[in-house]
Structure 1
Amino acid sequence: MSSAGRTGAEKGVRDVTRGGGSGGTGVDPQQLWLTPDRPRRGRRPGFSRAAIIAAAVALADAEGLDAVTMRRVAAEVGAGVMSLYSYAPDKDTLLELMLDHVSGELPTATPPTGDWRADLKAVAHDQRALMLRHPWLPATLTTRRTLGPNALAFLERALAALRPTGLDGAAKLEVFAQLTSFVAGHVGYELSQAGSARSPERTAAETRYLTTVAADGNHPELAEALAAPGRPLTPEAMFTRFLNRLVDGLDTD
């Protein structure tokens, strides 16, 4: 591969593994995903890596990611902390394992229909459903992702959906990264709104305030926007509208 080809491929990998975000981990993906599931040293414990990951995911789902410590996970599987390190040497590795574990819930066998926009929207809806089931996912995806086997299978589905666009490989990876970043950001907003639900009184007060401001003659654009017909405000309806604008506006030329 030429140096230009390597540069493009490396950029695509960076985009898709970081979801457009910054940061990262020191985890070696080749060592993590291409080595057998067995402890690195000492006597084999009476539990599996799968049991450790499942316990960590259950903790994160119930109490948030801060609750996932090596000590807590060890207690959940009935093991000593040191024996846990033989399967997951640090929390960064454990988080990568958790990410790929829940990625296994994503449907990957759905064949492309040939309508790439519809297929890409289906990918996004599946991602949203997964993130709502695991509320710790959106924030985690922005800083870490090494693409384990389950994540790679879902990526294959997304890339297959984009085949009719004629985009080159790097552009397809960028589109997938852009889509994932959008879904993670929107779900993060949904979760924060649900966690800080406003009272009807607060909502009514804000409506009165904006109505008053819009009527002062200094905000004609706001007045026009507020006079427009209302639209469904359910989380699903809002997500679908925003997603349609994103995907329908993608330029594939």
Structure 2
Amino acid sequence: MSGDGASVPQGVDPRELWLHQDRPRRGRRPAFTREGIVDAAVELADMEGLEAVTMRKVAARVGAGVMSLYSYAPDKETLLELMVDRVAGELSGGPAPTGDWRADLKAVARSQRANMLRHPWLPAALGSRRTPGPHTLAFMEHVLAALRPTGLDGAARMEVFAQVTGFVAGHVAHEVAQAAAARTPERLAAEARYLAEVAADGRHPELAEALASPRRPVDPDATFTRFLDRLVDGLDVA
């Protein structure tokens, strides 16, 4: 059994984790549910970040003893898997594929971005290999169906899905970091002075030209759309 600092999964059988979760237990009716514990962990991560999610803090949030949580999630890594699938449930139930796979894929990416902005800890959580739970599987099924008109085989469609998800996760992580940096204008001013000096040293002509170009208005939605269009419109599915 692992404590708060566990970083290596304890090898929970995916079948036990996802397929047998509703199997009735013997003895007294439990005071807590796995759903309630996972919801508490998600709320904690949303407010304080992923590093704040410890078994002790989650237990305190639901009014339980730490040891009682281990029957629902034997370690923090398992709890994180449950959290990832919990928020994936916000993505399921979208509109049926239209047949325009590029438009559908862009819609998928926009919904992923919105989901990750609601849960800023999610991009980091997705960096580890995870066993997909029922909500994640439902979303994957939706995306793979949307990509069927590409004519790609199943493995290639999985790669496209992974590519777009990776793009969205990286973009949102950068977006969140930029928003945090914007709250420290003195740091931004110092970075601007540094880049101006670098651009003037004559050794970085390409950078100097880029920095001299007209700046686009700061519009996170427009920036994401521009990047997403370049990615999806440039996919070669021939």
Q: Deviations over 1:28-59 (max 9, x none)?
A: 22221110325767643212111111111111
After TM superposition, the structure 1 stretch with the greater mean CA deviation from structure 2, 58-67 or 119-128, is 58-67
For 2:199 and 2:27, the matched residues in 1 are separated by 70
Partner of 2:91: 106
Aligned to 1:233: 218
Q: Is the 8 A contact 1:56 1:68 kept in 2?
A: yes
Does the CA-based 8 Å contact 1:27-1:92 persist in structure 2?
Answer: no
The aligned amino acid for 2:132 is L
Given the alignment of the two structures, is residue 250 of structure 1 paired with residue 218 of structure 2, yes or no? no
Q: What's the counterpart of residue 140 of structure 1?
A: 125
Match of 1:26 in 2: 11
Segment drifting more, 118-127 vs 213-222: 213-222
1:89 aligns with 2:37: no
Q: Residue 96 of structure 1 contacts residue 144 of structure 1 at CA under 8 Å; is this kept in 2?
A: no
Identify the match of residue 59 of structure 2 among 74, 85, 110. Answer: 74
Indicate conservation of the 8 Å contact 2:182/2:188, yes or no: no
Please list, as runs of the form range in 1=range in 2, the aligned pairs for 1:73-222 lying within 5 A after superposition. 73-197=58-182, 199-200=184-185, 203=188, 206-207=191-192, 210-211=195-196, 213-214=198-199, 218-222=203-207
Task: Please state whether the residue corresponding to 1:252 is helix, strand or coil.
Answer: coil
Deviation at 1:237, TM superposition (A): 1.7
Unaligned runs of 5+ in 2: 1-7
Most deviating of 127-136 and 68-77:
68-77
Q: CA deviation at 1:174?
A: 0.6
- CA-atom RMSD, angstroms? 2.4
SS of 2:74's partner is coil
Normalising by structure 1, we get a TM-score of 0.81
Q: Aligned equivalents of 2:226 and 2:84: distance in 1?
A: 27
Q: Which has the higher contact order (CA 8 A, sep 6+)?
A: 1
**1:55 is matched by which residue type in structure 2?**
A
The one-letter amino acid of 1:169's match is G
Deviations 1:4-43 (A, max 9, x none): xxxxxxxxxxxxxxxxxxx977332222111032576764
Give the 3 Å change call, closer, same or farther, for CA 207–67 of structure 1 in structure 2: closer
1:90-117 CA-to-partner distances (Å, cap 9, x unmatched) read: 1111111111111111143311122111
Distance 2:109 2:18 in 1: 25
By how many angstroms is 1:204 displaced? 5.1
Instruction: Judge conservation of contact 2:86–2:135 (CA < 8 Å) in 1.
Output: yes
1:40–1:86 Cα contact (<8 Å) kept: no
> Counterparts of 1:42 and 1:129 in 2: how far apart (Å)?
42
Percent sequence identity over aligned pairs: 72
Structure 1: gaps (5+ residues)? 1-22
CA drift of 1:143 comes to 0.5
